[in-house]
Structures are given as C-alpha cells and as structure tokens.
Structure 1
Amino acid sequence: MTGLLVGAVFGAVFVVLNAQSPLNTTTVLLLRAAACLAAAGVVAMWFFTAREQGQAEGARPAMFSRGYLVVVAAEALLLFGGIRLLTAWGRPEQTNVAWVAFVVGVHFIALAPIWKDRSIAVPGVVLTLLGTAGLVLASTSAVAWVPIISGVLSGLVLLTGAVAFGWRTVVARPA
C-alpha cells in the first residue's frame, strides 16, 4: 500500500499542476477536485490497511532494497539532468513535464523485476508512452497540450491504478 500511496500523491500532483489551459476552467476544477479526492481515498485506505497489516505481520517486506535505491538515484539524475539539458537546448518549458512522465514511467518498468511485481510495469509503460507523446508533441504547434497529455493523463493513470489496487487490497482482506 505504501507504493500506492506514493503513486496517488504524485498522480494528484501531476493533475493539479498540469490541469490548465487549453482546458476550460470547469474541466480544470473538476480534474483537480477528482484528483484530490482520489488521493484522499488512497490515503484513507493506506491508514486502514497499514494499521491492520502492522498488527498482523510484525515484519515488513523490504520495499527499499539496494536495487530500489539504485533505480531512484538513476531516476533523480535523469530527471534533473534531463531538465537541465532540455533548458540548455532551448526546448519549450512544457517539454519538462513530458520528460518527467517518461522518466517516471521507465522507473516503474525498472522496479517491476526488483519488486517481483509485473503489475507496476503496466502504468510504467503507459507513462513512458505518454511522456514520449509529449516529447514529440512539444516540437509541434500543439505544444500547449503537452501538460495535458503527459501530465494530466499520467496523473490520472497513477491515481486510477492506486485507487483500483488499493480498493482490491481493502476488499480482499480477511474479515
């Protein structure tokens, strides 16, 4: 559930920061409200299951292994180094969100074998594709849509996955 919590928070941040023009004001407000509600739902599920799991299990799985730390370190280098390069190359500011979505997607794909959980590769592939689409779109006259394609849609993917898998975990728990 901790991974879902992190995904939900970052998903909400993606939506809140990137829901903007060219979307109309009503759509922006609805997207932001839905993202915050979804993240709050995942937070509630996390507290509910974390309390029960802590009482039942005692020991926690090693989520933050050496492999995880290597992937996160590489992600940080790629994120910040890539954004600096994009700026140095004079790319539009909107390109940054596409780069972030791309790198975050690749990070999920890299974590799948480390955590021995193929299901996290699915949002990883989707985010990588949305990031790639944004990188391509940033070179066109439709650059204003990059935050929507790479930011809002990526955030919605993270939130949808976090809510769905969180709900599945809550419902599947023994009575």
Structure 2
Amino acid sequence: MLQRMSGVFIGALFGTVFVVANAHAPLSPAVGVTLRVIAVLTFAGLLALALLAGRRGGAVVDADGVPRADWFRGKFGFVVAAEAVLLIGGRLALREAGAPDETSVAWIALIVGLHFMALAAVWQRRSVAVPGTALTALGVAGLGMAATRAVVWVPFVSGVLSGVALLAGCAYAIAQTYRSTVRP
C-alpha cells in the first residue's frame, strides 16, 4: 500500500504546489489566500486519511483483484525521464521564442497531464488518465490563452485548476483505498 500511496502523495503535493504557486493576481488577494489554505488543508486531510488506511492494513489491489508488486519499475522510469526532458526543453524553447512567462505553467500542466496519461497505459489504470486528461486540457487551454489578452488568467486556468484536478484525483484514490480497508 505504501508504494501506491507514495505516488498519490506526490500527486497531492504537486496539486497543492500548483494551487499555492498560482493563486495570485488577477485573483483578489482574499480569494488567493483562501484557495491556498483550502489546498494545504486538503493535502493534510488526504495525508491523514491515507495514514489511517495504512494503519488498517491490507494490500492494495487493482479492480481485477491483482496486487501491484511494484509501481515504479520498468517503463515508469522512461515516462519520468521523457517528462523531465520535455519540461526542461519545452520551457527553454518557449523562453527562446519570446512566449509570455505565464506559458510556463501551461506547459508544465500539459506535460504533467501527458505523463499521467502515459502512466495510465503503463499501469493499466484508467483512473490515472482522468486527472491526466484534465491537466492536458488545462495546459492546452493555457497555451492558447497565452496568445490573447486573457494571458493573465493562465496561472489560474493551467495552475490553480490543474492543482484542483490533481487533488481531486488523489482524493478519489485515497478514498477508494480507505474504503477497501473498511470492507470485510
């Protein structure tokens, strides 16, 4: 269970970081602070629920009843390496092309979303593709907005909303894990 939950913790942490780093102008300061507090409290709640599920014990199994022995071997490394190359290379290319600074968060959302979609295929878990699809769409939307006067809203659309999508996906995964420890 710890192995699967580590991936969920990473997703929830990055979701929280997406919100905390991007909940700023043009949002009002009060809305920005509120969103940051909610994100941090959500992360803390997810952590507590996951730890409670871990104390209850039991192996995490997939829908087909087969336990996952190791989530982070094999093709996982290739997916993460490709993600790193695309994140760095893309951000450098956007900077060289003179793209607005706001495009960075849109690019990150796009690549992280594609990374989740690739992991959904590697791990054969459609549920991982849900936040991946959301982040990919929010990244594409932000990149499209960067060429318009709406560029100031890119951090909200591609950053805050991506963070919410990650936190929601992690909440779903942790809730499913918790429920599986409650069942007889």
- Please confirm whether the aligned pair reaches a TM-score higher than 0.5, indicating the same fold: yes
Structure 2 unpaired stretches of 5+:
60-66
Letter in 2 for 1:101: A
**Aligned counterpart, 1:46:** 50
What's the secondary structure of 2:149's corresponding residue? coil
1:10 aligns with 2:14: yes
**Conservation of the 8 A alpha-carbon contact between 1:104 and 1:128:** yes
User: Deviating runs (4+, > 3 A) in structure 1?
Assistant: 50-53
Give, in whole Å, the separation in 1 of the partners of 2:34 and 2:85: 34
Contact preservation (8 Å) 2:130, 2:169: no
Report SS of the residue matched to 1:62: coil
| % same residue | 47
**Displacement of 1:116:** 1.3
**CA drift at 1:163:** 1.4
Report the TM-score, using the length of structure 1 for normalisation: 0.93
- Give the secondary structure class of the aligned counterpart of 1:142: helix
Partner of 1:123: 131
Contact 2:43 2:167 in 1 (8 A): yes
Q: Does the 8 Å contact 1:4/1:42 carry over to 2?
A: no
> Contact between 1:130 and 1:154, CA under 8 Å: does it hold in 2?
yes
Q: Does 1:160 align with 2:168?
A: yes
**Hey, what's the Cα distance between the residues in 2 that align with 1:12 and 1:76?**
20
Q: Does 2:8 align with 1:20?
A: no
CA-atom RMSD, angstroms?
1.5
Which structure 1 segments of 5+ residues have no match? none
Aligned pairs, number: 172
